[in-house]
Every structure is written in C-alpha cells, then in structure tokens.
Copies of this chain bind each other. A is one copy, B any other.
Amino acid sequence: MAKIGNREKILCEGLKVVHARGFAGASVRDIVEAAGVPQGSFTNHFVSKEAFGLEILDRYFANSRVLMQETLLDLSRRPLARLRAYFAAHQARLRDGGMRYGCLFGNFTAESSDNSEVIRQKLMLIFAEMQHCFALCLQAARDAGELSAGLDCDDAAAFLVASMQGAVLLAKAQRSLAPLERLERIFLAMLQND
C-alpha cells in the first residue's frame, strides 16, 4: 500500500508542479519534494520522466473528459446549449485558478512535442478526441436544425480545438478571460452565418 500511496502522491503533486513550472522547468527533485516522498521513489514508479509526463497528461485529460461529458455530450440539453455550457464550464475552470498556468496540453505541445515523439503522439490523440467531441455536438445541432445543413462539422471542430488553445495562451499572457469570451462570441456567430 505504501508504494501505491507514493505513486499517487507523485502523480497528483507532480501534475501541479509541471503545470505551474513547465515540464522541463520542473525537475524530478522538485516533483518528489512537492510530493513529500524520497527521491528514489520516482525511479521506483516511473521508468523515465517521459513516462511520468505521459501519465500526467492522461490524468489531466480525465478531467477534460468529465467536463466534455457533462456539457458537450449531455443529451438532456439541446445541442447548442451544450456547446455554450462547455464554454461556460471551461471559462469557470480557468477563472478558478488555471488561467495563470494555461492548458497542460498546450504547454506540453509548446515545450515538449518536438523533444519526445511519444508525447507528441499522445497530444495528437488528445486533440483528436476533443475535436471528435466538439464535432458530435455540432452534428447534433445540425441534425436538430439549430445550424445550417451545409456545416462541415469536423472542420469547424478542428478550428475550435486550435482556437481554444490560442485563446487559453493569450488568456495566460494577459491574465484575462477576454480571449476566451471573444472566441465563444465569434465562433457562435460564425456558426449562425454558415
């Protein structure tokens, strides 16, 4: 049990340290200190820092999946209301402390995707799943007649995934949610004009 406890502490506290300082900026020493575990514990549980990086990406994405399930894929609401709920929940999450640190996926892409092929592949899968969830919601809106029948939902979803990353990045630089509010307003207007 003690071993499982340390692994969990390293993942939980390590994710916070990496989110705040960056993957390269957070040393293994920083991570074990934050977790309050012996230095050797890291190498007992992870074959490399890269393996640890892959696990914290999964862990962070588990939260993103919950957020998408509760909004984009919540069939109790009408499709465009789901998309609006996603924007609101995402902004609320950033307002509650994530804004200074940005999106872990964006941060990893910026600093690590050229240095590690497995991390780049993981990030591609994550972005693809996010795009798929946006596309499902847009397709539902199209099928329900909320959006034009001619909308290319995959294209719009891919655009949204990228533009969300950019808006989170600018929000981080400016310490303001304005870029995310602007994206929401412009994207929803764009859908109506299509």
Distance in angstroms from A131 CB to nearest chain B CB is 10
Among the listed B107, B115, B186, which residue makes an inter-chain contact with A25, where contact means beta carbons less than 8 Å apart?
Answer: B115
Among the listed B161, B162, B172, which residue makes an inter-chain contact with A109, where contact means beta carbons less than 8 Å apart?
Answer: B172
Question: For the complex formed by this chain, how many copies does it contain in all?
Answer: 2
Among the listed B113, B155, B159, which residue makes an inter-chain contact with A172, where contact means beta carbons less than 8 Å apart?
Answer: B113
* Residue contact B186 to A159, C-beta cutoff 8 Å: yes
- Roughly how many angstroms separate A162 CA and B25 CA in the complex, as a whole number? 24
Q: Which of A147-177 contact B (CB under 8 A)?
A: 155-156, 158-159, 161-167, 169-170, 172-174
* Given A102-B110, A114-B100, A124-B174 contact (CB < 8 Å): yes
- Roughly how many angstroms separate A109 CA and B102 CA in the complex, as a whole number? 9
The reply on A93 being an interface residue by CB < 8 A is: no
Chain A interface residue count, CB cutoff 8 Å, equals 44
Among the listed B110, B113, B182, which residue makes an inter-chain contact with A111, where contact means beta carbons less than 8 Å apart?
Answer: B110
The reply on A101 being an interface residue by CB < 8 A is: yes
Taking CB atoms, residues of chain B closer than 8 Å to A113 are 172-173
The reply on A190 being an interface residue by CB < 8 A is: yes
The reply on A46 being an interface residue by CB < 8 A is: no
Among the listed B112, B162, B165, B173, which residue makes an inter-chain contact with A120, where contact means beta carbons less than 8 Å apart?
Answer: B173
* Residue contact A169 to B169, C-beta cutoff 8 Å: yes
* Residue contact B190 to A162, C-beta cutoff 8 Å: no
Residue of B nearest to A26 (CB): B24
Taking CB atoms, residues of chain B closer than 8 Å to A155 are 182, 186
Residue of B nearest to A108 (CB): B110
Among the listed B22, B101, B166, B190, which residue makes an inter-chain contact with A165, where contact means beta carbons less than 8 Å apart?
Answer: B166
Q: List 14 A-B contacts (CB under 8 A).
A: A22-B24, A25-B115, A102-B114, A106-B110, A109-B172, A110-B110, A124-B174, A155-B182, A162-B179, A162-B183, A163-B167, A164-B166, A165-B170, A169-B169
Top 3 closest pairs, chain A to chain B, by CB = A166-B166, A110-B110, A24-B25
